[in-house]
Structure 1
C-alpha cells in the first residue's frame, strides 16, 4: 500500500509490493467506475472542514513537510506554529517532531521552534528515521511513553490520511489541525485531490491484501 505522499510513480513501480497494491487499486477503481475515488475525496474534504476541538493531550506529534532550501516550508511552519501555540499554553506539553532527510525535517523544525518561539529543546523529541507519513507514525509510536494522550498536528488537507494511518497502527490519537479553518484555495483543493489518490491507494491495497491474504503486503502496514 502507498504510505508516501512524496513517493514517485517510478520508485513505486520498482517495489514489487507497492506495484501489486497499485495494480489492485487501479482494478478496483475501474470496476467501481471511479466511485471509490469520489467517496475517498469526499471523506478527505469532510475531515479537512471539521470543526476542531481543544486537544487534551500530553504529547503532540508534529508531522514534517518537505523543506524549502533547508528551511521549513509554509505548510510546515503552519504546523509548527500550531504546536508552539499549544505548547505556550501548557507547560507540561511535550512535542515530537517527525521527519527524516538530510538535514532532517524534525531537526530543522526543532531549531525553528527554539529560534522563533524560545521553546526549550528539552521539550522536543525528534523522530528522524522516517521518509513518509506512515513511517512517521510507526516510528513515533515506539518513542511515545505508554498510555500517553497523543495529538497529531498536521494540515487540514492531510488529516484524513493521517488518522487512517494512525488507526491502522493501533494508535489512539486526536487530530489537531494546523489551520483555524479550511479555505477553498487552489492549493488546498489540489492537495485534497492528491491526498484522496494516496488514501484510495492505501485503502484499496489494504482491502486486496486482506481479501487475498497477502501477508507480505499486510506486513508493510503493521
Structure 2
C-alpha cells in the first residue's frame, strides 16, 4: 500500500490526507485502464516535445528563475551546473531583468540557492547583479510558490490575486515539463521554458527520467483536473 502512494507523496499531494491520495490514485488508475495506457503515452509525447524543443533563451529580457538540484559535497553537481551556466550566459547576453535562484537545504548545511550563487560568482557573475535567493523549499512546486511570493513582493503587491510577471524557467530539459505544468497551475501564464543543455541527449539516464517524468506529470495534471471538477479544496490548496 505504501508503494501505491509513493508517487503522490511529492509536489501537490505532499500534505494531502491518505483518503485524498487514494481518490487521486483511483481516478488516474481508471484513466490508465480505460485508455489502455494511451493517456500516459499522451503525456509522454508532451514531455518529449517540451524536453526536445525548448529554446536556449527567452524571447525578450525578463525575470529568470533557476531551479536548484540536490548538492554533492555542498556544491552543484553536473545538471545544476548546466542550469547555472545557462543563466550566466543569459546575464552576459543582457536577457535577465532579475535573477532568482531556487532551492533550500536538501541534506547539507548549504542551500541549493547559496551554492548556486557561489558557483556563479566563481564563474564571472557581474558584481552589479544581486540574485534573489529562494531557500525555503526542496521541491519544484514550493520553489515556484515561494518565487511567486518574491516576485509579487518586489512588485510592491502581495495580493494573491495579482498577476505574476513574465518569467523564464531555467532547468534541465527532462525537468522542464513538470516545471511548466506547475507554473501554469500557479498562475505563471506568461512563463517560457529555457533549456540548460544545448540539445536533448538520449542516454539511458535521460530516457528513464523522461519516462518517469511522464508518469509524474500525469499524476499531477489528472489529479488536479479532477480535484477542480469536483471542487476538492484540500487537493487544490497547494496550487493556489
- Please tell me the TM-score bracket, short chain as reference: 0.7 to 0.9
Q: Classify 1:134/1:92 alpha carbon distance in 2 versus 1 (closer, same or farther; 3 Å).
A: closer
Q: In structure 2, the residue corresponding to 1:152 is in which secondary structure?
A: strand
The answer for the alignment partner of 2:187 in structure 1 is 170
- Answer whether contact 2:8 2:219 (CA < 8 A) is retained: no
Partner SS state of residue 93, structure 1: strand
Distance 1:53-1:178 versus aligned 2 partners, 3 A rule: closer
Instruction: Check if 1:68 corresponds to 2:85.
Output: no
What count of residue pairs does the alignment treat as equivalent?
216
Pick the aligned partner of 1:180 from 194, 198, 201: 198
Deviation at 1:186, TM superposition (A): 1.4
Aligned with residue 202 of structure 1, among 199, 210, 220: 220
Following superposition, the deviation at residue 67 of structure 1 comes to 1.2
Residue in 2 that maps onto 1:160 = 177
For the structure 1 residues 176 and 92, does the alpha-carbon distance in structure 2 shift closer, same or farther, using more than 3 Å as the test? Answer: closer
Alignment of 1:72-221 (within 5 A): 72-90=76-94, 93-101=97-105, 102-120=109-127, 122-144=129-151, 145-146=154-155, 148-171=165-188, 172-221=190-239
Deviation at 1:123, TM superposition (A): 2.1
Q: How far has the Cα of 1:22 moved from its partner?
A: 3.1
Paired position in structure 2 for 1:27: 30
CA shift in 2, pair 1:93/1:103, >3 Å: same
CA-CA distance at 1:169 after TM superposition: 0.9
What TM-score does the superposition give when structure 1 sets the normalisation length?
0.87
The Cα offsets for residues 59-103 of structure 1, whole Å up to 9 and x where unpaired, read as: 110011111122101110100000011112218632100011142
Q: Cα distance, 1:113 vs. partner?
A: 0.7
Query: In structure 2, what is the Cα distance between the partners aligned to 1:210 and 1:40?
Result: 19
**Superposition deviation, residue 26 in structure 1:** 2.3
Higher relative contact order (CA 8 A, sep 6+): 1
Q: 1:180 and 1:88 mapped to 2: Cα distance?
A: 17
TM-score (norm 2): 0.81
Residue 194 of structure 1: how far off its partner (Å):
1.5
> d(CA) in 1 for partners of 2:229 and 2:125?
51
The answer for the alignment partner of 1:3 in structure 2 is none
Against the structure 1 CA distance between its residues 24 and 120, is the aligned structure 2 distance closer, same or farther, given a 3 Å change threshold?
farther
Q: Name which of structure 1's ranges 172-181 and 121-130 shifts more when overlaid on structure 2.
A: 121-130
Deviation per CA, 1:142-175: give whole Å up to 9, x if none. 1114464321101111121111111111112111
Name the counterpart of 2:43: 40
Equivalent residues of 1:48, 1:159 under 8 A apart: yes
CA contact (8 A) 2:168 2:192 kept: yes
Unaligned runs of 5+ in 2: 156-163
SS at match of 2:123: helix
Q: Any idea what SS the aligned residue of 1:69 has? A: coil
**Structure 2 residue aligned with 1:4:** none
Q: Helix, strand or coil: the match of 2:65?
A: strand
